[in-house]
Structure 1
Amino acid sequence: MDRLQKILLIALISTSAGAWIASQAFQEGMMIAMAKPYSPLSVLLFAAVWTAGMAAMMFPAISPVILLYGKLVKNSYSSTTVVVEGGKGPNLVKMTLFIGCYLAVWALTGLALLLSWSLLLNSAVAATGLSSVIYGLILIAAGGYQFSPLKAKCLGYCESPVSFFMRRWRSGTAGAATMGTYHGLYCLGCCWPYFLLMVALGWMNILWMALFAGIIFGEKMWSRGIWVARAAGIGLAIAGVITALGI
């Protein structure tokens, strides 16, 4: 590991730790924001705390991608399929754009989940009074997705940073933003069920966040991460059946 990668790794760990602290420090405000999604201030507060939470949960799992990208933008590198432009020293603009666009995907996802839950699902729960059934179906759907081809495809790109850059490499600052967005979308394809549950079921405390972060880390860092995903899927489906039946 060269000096740049060490700096990036320390920065990722520090940012993730700070984000954990921030997300928990403002957890109460976030829960209030979830209860009042029609207030612009509440939406901004939710977006800020949600994005901090995403950084806390996702940065450890995506560190190999960021470290590899830092190496690619530093050194002149070529292969049979890609040619990466070199440069002296770390390119902070590209790194910032890559990480910033990655987080932007998650920020927009959080807002979409908040608004859709508040406007649609929460209304359905209130109207029908069948909260346990609806919550159970959400858990079952989240568990079932873990066995889908889309989950497997997205996880494949998340597991292999080299495959991701070989397929999605774009040069320049615009390329950095594009690749950060693409990687955010792949991670979204892998992990959206966990974050749907966090919003829908109000599982925003540190214990649930740590559990889901551990599952995501196992999925992305282990070569057989799909088995971690499927084990989680079985657990979610069983929890869904128990919840729906009121056992």
Structure 2
Amino acid sequence: MKTPLRSRLFASLFAALAAGAWIALWSWDAGPYARYLHHASWTELPGIGPMCRALPGASITLAASLHSVAWLLMIAAMMLPTAFPLFDTFRRMTLSRTSWRTLTALLIAGYATAWAAFGLVAHGFDAALHLLAERSSTLLADGWLIGAAIVALAGVYQFSSLKHRCLDKCRSPLMFITEHWHGRSPRRESFLLGVSHGVFCIGCCWALMLLMFAVGTGSVGWMLALGAIMAAEKNLRWGRVIGRPLGVALLAWSAWIVVQNARFV
């Protein structure tokens, strides 16, 4: 198979994977089990808290399993497309090996593993906060403060040097591969390359991903918007100029949440 045809086929398969994840999320959101896709928004917790207390919950095992599946679908839909330049560069560099398909699959699996680990931490922290809120009338009434704090944190992080160092790593896929993959133990190195890139990707995007918990995870519209922003920041030339305006917008949004809720206190 000629290389250009392989490239088109790989891009098509990758696009189909991402599109399938988006379709699955949209179908889930429109179905009878949508409640397991969503987490309550901290900005609206005072209004929906009593209802959450009254609704019967699923078993911990079922809820955790469904939330895990939802998170992996979100990663496939939102984050895998942002890392396509790395995956495609690696595929082209390993085409001479008979096991290039396996190596590419291990690279993607390593990347997904890093994000899955971050998801466990983020969901665990969010679940602990919600459990605390359900047992505290004060925190339940003022849960919007947590939402405002998460939005403000995402805004401040847009100006951090750590974010920009991580972005520099993500914007140079060829250099990243040559630094982390030497081919002496190809399968292990491919998986670890994916994990390493995933860690730097988390370093770029973790604060923006936490916005999903501030406004309520599971909104397909929010996922599309955040996925587009993160893809632009990492892969487009003008992505370097949107960071600071986005940070200002997030800080303004946080202030608006405070003003809107403080007047009722």
Specify the SS of the correspondent of 1:147. Answer: coil
Q: Give me the whole-angstrom Cα distance separating, in 1, the residues matched to 2:228 and 2:131.
A: 28
- Matched with 1:58 is 79
Give the AA of the match of 1:8.
Answer: F
Specify the SS of the correspondent of 1:10. Answer: helix
Residue 135 of structure 1 and its aligned partner are, at CA, apart by 1.2
Question: What are structure 1's unaligned runs of at least 5 residues?
Answer: 76-86
Specify the SS of the correspondent of 1:2. Answer: helix
Question: What are structure 2's unaligned runs of at least 5 residues?
Answer: 41-51
Q: Give me the whole-angstrom Cα distance separating, in 1, the residues matched to 2:258 and 2:208.
A: 18
Q: Give me the whole-angstrom Cα distance separating, in 2, the residues matched to 1:229 and 1:143.
A: 9
Please say if residues 181 and 193 of structure 2, whose CA atoms lie closer than 8 Å, have aligned partners that are also in contact.
Answer: yes
- Matched with 1:236 is 250
Where do residues 1-247 of structure 1 align in structure 2 (5 Å cutoff)?
2-27=4-29, 28-31=34-37, 39-75=60-96, 87-88=97-98, 91-120=100-129, 123-124=132-133, 126=136, 127-128=138-139, 129-171=141-183, 172-246=186-260
Q: Give me the whole-angstrom Cα distance separating, in 1, the residues matched to 2:60 and 2:214.
A: 19
- Matched with 1:80 is none
Specify the SS of the correspondent of 2:94. Answer: helix
Give the AA of the match of 2:114.
Answer: V
Bigger RCO (CA 8 Å, 6+ sep): 2
Specify the SS of the correspondent of 1:246. Answer: helix
Q: Give me the whole-angstrom Cα distance separating, in 1, the residues matched to 2:113 and 2:35.
A: 21
Q: Give me the whole-angstrom Cα distance separating, in 2, the residues matched to 1:196 and 1:224.
A: 24
Q: Give me the whole-angstrom Cα distance separating, in 2, the residues matched to 1:99 and 1:211.
A: 23
Residue 50 of structure 1 and its aligned partner are, at CA, apart by 1.1
More deviation, 32-41/155-164: 32-41
Which has the larger Rg?
A: 2
Specify the SS of the correspondent of 2:159. Answer: coil
Give the AA of the match of 2:230.
Answer: I
Specify the SS of the correspondent of 2:218. Answer: coil
Residue 120 of structure 1 and its aligned partner are, at CA, apart by 2.8
More deviation, 180-189/159-168: 159-168
